[in-house]
Structure 1
Amino acid sequence: MDGSAAARQQPTAGGRLLRREAAVLVLEDGTTFTGESYGAIGTTFGEAVFSTGMSGYQETLTDPSYHRQVVVMTAPHIGNTGINDEDQESSRIWVSGFVVRDPALRPSNWRSQRTLEDELRDQDVVGICGLDTRALTRHLRERGAMRVGIFSGEAAQGSNLLDQVTAQPSMAGAELASEVSTGEAYVVAAQGTKRFTVAAVDLGIKAMTPERMAERGIEVHVLPADVSFEQLQQIRPDGVFFSNGPGDPSTAPQVELLQQVLLAGIPFFGICFGNQLLGRALGFGTYKLKYGHRGINQPVLDKATGKVEITAHNHGFAVDAPIEGEVPAPAGSDFGRVRVSHICLNDDVVEGLECLDLPAFSVQYHPEAAAGPHDAAYLFDRFVGLLESSKTVAGEKN
């Protein structure tokens, strides 16, 4: 049986044959791909992006950074390991749509509790399968990430599909962190002896991030995206963390909060969106990448050590800063000197910032990397070292 026939008659977890409906994917430039329904039937819109990870689709789906994006998986076979309740990065699927070439006929993994497609259907996520994802990925690489619509079932027969796609808002200029952040503060307790307290501003935080800090004796207070500096100070944090998240960093109101944190001398660590906000707080610009970095196989150079790390990425924006040498922060002398600490070896995009006169650093990639790789896990230890140094200095002053 060829791939298209398998897609039309795929056994579900219960063994019954699932007959798929026609589906179509329409890009804003008018390019159209036909396929078959996958997950829920209906219509969805978002920004078309591609992820190059060979595994980790469950973590991708539940990453809040993918809010309002339709994710194209470049690996052809998706769903092989099913879905479990342990690998979720948040309480729900955040992608707007999901695009795969060949869905697994059935999951085969001892940890699997249900099929990927059942999970997509249960959470009303519209997807498409049976199309040439390699051709689609090449198109997005050449033309750039763009708005897209997936239409399946009766919706696929509409005559104004492109008009519907072009009527959707662009990712540029979108403020989305407030849409994915926690509504209420909560605490992730330190494992073993508590050593430090960290205020983590949730801009789309993944569950594994506070877990990695808790493993190192940090009590993590996860705070809503609209937290004020005065509210943050009430927990008397030893350090502040800004998480990953969706949207355009130029619209983020948290830049002012971060400047207050830096000027107060509180140690800071940022990941992904947090890296972009550190850049903006220091006075650098940010810009939208042509098609972004997404996947778990991106090579990054640590300029201080010369070490190359294979890292997990999910970002469509980047910091505009000189990649060589030390420079004064454009925001003014209060922020001291800054240098780019990491760069992507594929395209020289800034992948990390380090303040030389303030206790602050950030990286554009994901050292928590629940689906792997774990080359960058040492960055949490670097944050602990920053907290220790700051506490020692504070103790000497007292």
Structure 2
Amino acid sequence: MQFSQPMFPLHPPPPPSSGGAAAGDAVAPPLVRTYRAWKGNNEFCLGGRVIFGPDVKSIFLTMFLIVAPVAVFSAFVARKLLDDFPHHWGYSILIILIVLTMFVLITLVLTSGRDPGIVPRNAQPPLMMDESDGSANINNEQTPRLHFPRSKEVIVNGVSVKIKYCDTCMLYRPPRCSHCSVCDNCVERFDHHCPWVGQCIGLRNYRFYYMFVFSATLLCLYIHGFCWVYIKKIMDSEEISIWKAMIKTPASIALILYSFISVWFVGGLTVFHTYLISKNQSTYENFRYRYDQQANPFDKGVAENFKEIFCSVIPPSKNKFRSKIPIPKEPSEASGRRAIESLSPVVRKTAGDLELGAPVYNDAEEEFESDYADEFANDDEHGKGSEIGDMPVDLSRMLYTEGGQRQVASSLRHSLWERDTKDSGEKTHFGT
């Protein structure tokens, strides 16, 4: 059986021009800020100038855990040490405390409220030619097959590094990039998603994250140390034992316990990330034992690794959240579902994949071709065509567009209706 020419154009027809518009004038589509059409799970503030993760509320808990002990220390310990040192050196205790606390809070906001290195999504999957399979002969034309390798290999400093294809972002991730399931974004040099700061840690905020945990460790040690100094002052002034002195200042005991527990957390992170920086690894790579079986192509030596983190220029964001873009058109789920349900089972799966924007792989294409061939074989065997047997549909040229899908569904329904009308007419003629 030979295929005839497609009964619908390969491209959707242009929309009819309005009578009042001059020839050649195009109606400008409505525009919207990029952050308002953002497909990730991020939260934006100040008109798209600040970007947070979906768990942004956790940053307020983190701030409370920092500010509350500092306030208690200032009220019950630092205030009573102001006059216990000569030349007013006691005031330096409170000044250093305030400066250190402000630094911790600033680095926390810089870590949580900036783009960690999000890779912009593609509007459609990349089309790659599968040279190994050649091309498919459809409509007596050589049509190349589409192939999406799940991974590729690139050379980084003489070492082969595998990069994977991201189905959500429809792109091949750069080296050291990974997709965060919480924020639903691909992040360059992805380290981890930190729930305490409510943001991914990546290429553009890792420096501030390390400075945050390091300064928080210093703050814990600072409060812990001066609480013991205050207890020692009570012991010397009243000549009592350490236990009686501790009873006289319950706030110091609470701060000592709190800072002791906290320093194991933030101090442990500081030590761990110091090790990672010296090896030029990320937490994600370390937990997956990425470089246990091969050399790390990013390791430049301890000094150069620290210089890369703290002295290099932070690359600008690849996303312009405040720029205006056309409003993205989403296909109607109801209309798409009705159109797919009206198709035969062979076509329904392929049209459904196209509606959802799913990439068509070689395996699915070969499976469809075999089913399509079997259906035509059954038509020849029984002597009559099936519902789609004699329909000239070139599915390899269906487009990832809403208009193309509606046109395919409309053409299929129109042909089925014509066929039913013709069959009913023939039966009526026989009856008379």
TM-score above 0.5, yes or no: no
TM-score, with normalisation over the residues of structure 2? 0.21
Between Structure 1 and Structure 2, which shows a larger proportion of helix residues?
A: 2
Which one has a bigger Cα radius of gyration?
2
Could you state the TM-score of these two structures normalised by the residue count of structure 1?
0.23
Q: Which structure is richer in relative contact order (CA contacts within 8 A, separation 6 or more)?
A: 2
